[in-house]
Structure 1
């Protein structure tokens, strides 16, 4: 989990984040995505249905991958930084995998010995003889929370197929309690849930990627300034 001191953190400062859109039955007419509901008392988006995700933790920068990140993916993730000390692309990818594990109990990994430092949040991976599999993540969207919200994030959204998950994709027994009502839901049905606006947009983008393939550029809703700007990251 994120190790920010709540007594000193500026809750309205933009924080880098990663979110994962995990897809099931991607090659069928009715793909499903994994979603859960935030608690009624949550400071950010209470009661809303969302994908697993959250702020990038400092320990995510310690994670070592067995293979280098795809150069084009790395370039896109590093483009147009907003926060004063934006994390490396590798940390963004690691955060998406960690958040999926913490919030759903699903492990996006492959059998491999652990390499490098082993933060507490990742010990279950190492104990299982697993290493994170960032090559399974496809960068499809980026958005910054508009000003005036209780929390603000510069979120990178990643698409992944459940077939890359180790174990039973219906077993959420290792999930933390941050998200309730975790379930797989068809894309059309997901739009009927109580969703944040940006989640609706990302759902549409994920569906387009599933049908048409990865686009030549990544959509970016940039709310870092005084007026919103739509950009594309090539």
Structure 2
């Protein structure tokens, strides 16, 4: 039987300083957590029923609104969206693991974007999107879509995750929440070369970011 993958969203907060041309924010999960316990990750989490509320998005089509209603009912029962069911409802072919796939438009991404904003606010106290509906295309332009990852069937954490990039003007000190044991602004190269216990998805994204020397270069590569 194929495993169920939970839809999730992750945010790469990025900035630069006069001495560091590319920094990202990593947070350490508390050691008592079931998922990624004690590991360093980007802020993020599962897409839940509040993220599929149609009031978040303006200018919806009738067909999309109908999907949202069904998705809300499913999410309310399950607590979080199942990724395979998510794409089935959207009429989008489900990609193979690790395939570099991008949606033809941004409609399938909007619950992920809402989840990304909510999780960033909850975990590190930084506001990257409105904290209440509606959400507009202009808001979504502040998020660059990096891509998606989901693990092989043997992985203990089965999250089908959409990664977003957000550029912040300066290094901002996040607050430590119940979901954040520690945090660090660090360059991808130093994070990869150090002794931090990086989750595998985090390591994969850091390797991709390490192809670029500056925050400007990363943003130009992925910005809308």
Measured against the shorter chain, the TM-score band is 0.5 to 0.7
**What displacement does 1:57 show?**
1.1
The CA deviation at 1:179 is: 1.7
The alignment of Structure 1 onto Structure 2 pairs a total of residues equal to 172
Say which SS state the counterpart of residue 149 (structure 1) adopts: coil
| Structure 1: segments with no counterpart, 5+ residues | 1-11, 69-80, 118-131, 217-234
1:202 and 2:197 are equivalent in the alignment:
no
Q: Deviations over 1:185-228 (max 9, x none)?
A: 12222212211222112012234364363269xxxxxxxxxxxx
Pick from 148, 151, 168 the counterpart of residue 154 of structure 2: 148
Asked if residue 96 in structure 1 is aligned to residue 96 in structure 2, the reply is no
Which structure has more strand as a fraction of its residues?
Answer: 1
Identify, as 1 or 2, the structure richer in helix.
Answer: 2
Taking only aligned residues, the RMSD between alpha carbons, in angstroms, comes to 3.3
Deviations 1:159-189 (A, max 9, x none): 11013x9xx821x33x531121122112222
1:84 maps onto 2:85 in alignment: yes
Number of the residue aligned with 1:23: 14
Q: Which residue of 2 aligns with 1:129?
A: none
Selected match of 1:214 from 203, 216, 221? 221
> How far is the alpha carbon of 1:66 from its aligned partner?
6.4
Moved over 6 A (4+): none
Residue 102 of structure 2 corresponds to none
